[in-house]
Amino acid sequence: MIFHQPHNSLSNNFNAVFYRTEVWNSHFHKSFELVYVIEGSLICFSNGEEYILKSGQFGICLPYDIHSYEPQGDTHYWVCVFSEDYVHDFYKIIKDKTGSFAFECSRSVTEFITENLINNQNPSRLLIKSALYSVCDEYLKCNNLTEKNKKITENIAVIIEYVEKNHTKDIKLSDIGKLLGYDYHYVSRYFHTIFKMSFSEFLTLYRLETAVELIEQSDKKLVDIAMESGFQSVRSFNDCFKTHFKITPSEYKKRNSLKT
């Protein structure tokens, strides 16, 4: 399953989190994503390629790269998501290009990143930019960038934007076909090639993610959340939620309330 993370596709987005043993299934977003392994070993998949990051190594996902993380044993790693606003010059260089996910930084840059970004609880925006630019420069030194299929990147953005605006409506794959100018059978194969799932699966996952965000960030009733997320009935919402998360929406809401 591949999840789009709309909260990580916004402008002026920056967040950094430490993880220990957490597994992240395949997902993608418009922002960059920097990964640093503090201890242990992390299996990373990026655009169909497998990489193994060990302690002291970095990885970076470019906008819309599909990626996932699977720690091996007791692995401690740090993930930083940041939008192009923080590294505008770097974004202009890599736009419509692709490169290897894994790379290494010099000792001085690693120490600078560790002190000023990883271990700094409240870095200023200027310090964040300085640290990110230093690591992005190291990435460019380690990579021979190649041209990305620009049309696919543009189509991904169009599809995501359409789903974001219309996920509460009864939209179908044929609507995507009309949007892109493809016939039904071609767009069906095309969609599956890009997202590794059918359009109906993608739409359901998007609606579920929307529902999860509403549960976590609001006090709305579950029936209202179901409707606002695009589900046609509370029953279908409950069934889909339990199928994918192995827990009912009400149980999830209860657990979330206990955390706050």
Closest CA to 143 of 183, 87, 201, 90: 90
Q: What type of residue is 1? A: M
CB neighbours of residue 139 within 10 Å: 24
| 105 close to 112: Cβ distance less than 8 angstroms | no
In 3D space, the residue among 142, 17, 38 whose CA is nearest the CA of residue 82 turns out to be 17
Average pLDDT over residues 65-73: 89
CA distances from 175 to 74, 161, 167 (A): 46, 13, 12
- The predicted-structure confidence for 214-252, as pLDDT tens digits, reads as follows 998 899 999 999 999 999 999 999 999 999 888 999 999
Q: Which residues contact 45 (CB under 8 A, 6 or more apart)?
A: 26, 51, 67, 68, 70
pLDDT in tens, 5-38: 655 556 788 999 999 888 887 778 889 999 999 9
Using a cut of 0.75, tell me whether the model's pTM lies above it. no
Overall average pLDDT of the 156-166 stretch: 86
Range from 99-103, 135-139, 238-242, 255-259 carrying the lowest mean pLDDT: 255-259
> Tens digits of per-residue pLDDT, 182-221?
999 999 998 887 777 789 988 998 898 889 889 988 999 9
Q: Is 222 helix (H, G, I), strand (E, B) or coil?
A: helix
Q: Is the pLDDT of residue 68 over 70?
A: yes
Residue 210 has a CB neighbour count (10 Å cut-off) of 19
In this structure, the chain runs to a length of: 260
Determine the 3-state secondary structure of 53 from DSSP: strand
Give pLDDT, residue 132: 97
State how far the Cα of 75 lies from the Cα of 167, in Å rounded to an integer.
37
Q: What are the φ and ψ backbone dihedral angles of 207, each rounded to 5 degrees?
A: -65, -40
What's the pLDDT at 1? 44
Residue 246, number of CB atoms within 10 A of its CB: 8
* 120-148 residue pLDDT tens: 989 999 999 999 999 999 999 999 888 87
pLDDT of residue 131: 96
* Predicted pLDDT at 63: 86
3-state SS assignment for residue 185: helix
Instruction: Report the distance separating Cα 34 and Cα 45, nearest Å.
Output: 14
